[in-house]
A = this chain, B = another copy of it.
């Protein structure tokens, strides 16, 4: 069982932006910080913008930033928006795929289990991913290894 790369990258983008919510960042800068494909990230960012998680401003002074405060961005909400589907078994997508689909209960159990999965993620926000000052500082150091450690912003 796996989440898509979309969810993975989406959480990375939001973590990056959430570390400095007042600053703008570019897709290229985030791709470089995580050492991942700029093109893949671009699609994820477009979806995050479309779903109202990030704001994207064009032009010379443009860039990306969070559209909402980290404590107002639910992890479950993000995963629901970025996973292209929660059809965990084929028959949930196309009932013709399996002969017994009309009476099989397995897909119903899986759907129930999936709700429990998302309910756990719904208990957390982006703020929980960034939480304490120590963690924020460690995240900053990992994402900006060349920058001096700032003692100011907590």
A contacts, CB < 8 Å to B: 1-5, 7-8, 11-12, 15, 33-35, 75, 83, 85-91, 98-100, 102-106, 109-110, 112-114, 116-121, 124, 128-129, 131, 135, 138-139, 142-143
State the majority secondary structure of interface residues on A: helix
> Which residues of B have CB within 8 Å of A5?
90
Chain B positions within 8 Å of A139 at CB level: 100, 103-104
A141 smallest CB distance to B (angstroms): 9
Are the C-beta atoms of B34 and A99 separated by less than 8 Å? Answer: yes
- Residues of chain B within 8 A of A11, CB atoms compared: 106
The 10 tightest CB contacts between A and B, nearest first, are A113-B120, A117-B117, A116-B116, A103-B138, A113-B117, A116-B120, A3-B88, A8-B89, A100-B142, A11-B106
Which residues on B sit within 8 Å (CB–CB) of A113?
Answer: 116-118, 120-121
Q: Could you tell me if B87 and A2 are in contact, using CB atoms closer than 8 angstroms?
A: yes
Chain B nearest CB: distance from A94 CB in Å? 12
Q: When A2-B88, A12-B100, A88-B2 are in contact, do A131 and B117 touch as well, CB less than 8 Å?
A: no
